[in-house]
Amino acid sequence: MPHLTITDEAHSQIIDGLDNQEPKKTAVRIEATTDGTSQFSYGMRLVGENDLRDDDEILESNGVKVFVDPVSARNLEGATVDYEDGILNSGFRFDNPNQPKIPELGKGLRTDLTGETAEKVEHLINSEINQAVAAHGGQVNFLGVKENRAYLSFGGGCHGCGMVDVTLKQGIEARIKELIPEIEEVVDVTDHASGENPFYK
């Protein structure tokens, strides 16, 4: 069972919500899931007893009954749920000592890359490559395919990073060419000195 703390402020907001629900709600479900980025995605909703699942863990924190699924329970170990009511930020806030495990660029073959070449490259970038570079706050944008070249641009933490060439050649380009052999080259069009984007020429 995870050690989860609900502060007095968050407790007050949850109790108010439970008291004002029709039909009557008796607990709160809290979830912490991964979406491929360096932060968890959190969810909270008021529920009734019929929402309890067979594998749920049930805990009470500050008098509030909490339903947590097994995966979220691991992700929330030692976390604190707080509530802030400020001018700029208002709502529940999670202080969580845990971090999602970010995947490295994958290895081996995949069977889900189908369709035209451009579709395969785009799907690979969205489903695998962006999950890996998200660990550094980066993002890879797929621009298209022309003459067996895949054109990409880098954003976020990858924008202006001195390691982009290494990331591109040793990681991203190698992975794309491994799985989509018709691609002969991967071209980074981010911030060309000429100010021109060769993909759109």
In which residue ranges of the chain is pLDDT below 70? 1-2, 35-38, 86-89, 101-109, 132-138, 156-170, 191-201
Q: What is the pLDDT of residues 98-118, one digit of tens each?
A: 987 655 555 666 777 888 999
Neighbours of 188 (CB within 10 A): 19
Per-residue model confidence (pLDDT) at position 198: 41
Residue 150 has a pLDDT of: 92
What helix, strand, coil percent values describe the chain, rounded to 5?
30, 30, 40
Closest CA to 157 of 176, 135, 172: 135
User: How much is the pLDDT for 183?
Assistant: 93
Structural domains of the chain ordered from first start: 5-95 (2.60.300.12), 117-200 (3.30.300.130)
pTM over 0.85: no
d(CA 1, CA 28): 16
User: CA gyration radius for the chain?
Assistant: 23
CA distance 171 to 173: 6
Beta-bridged to residue 46, according to DSSP, are 28
Q: Distance between CA atoms of 45 and 14, rounded to whole angstroms?
A: 9
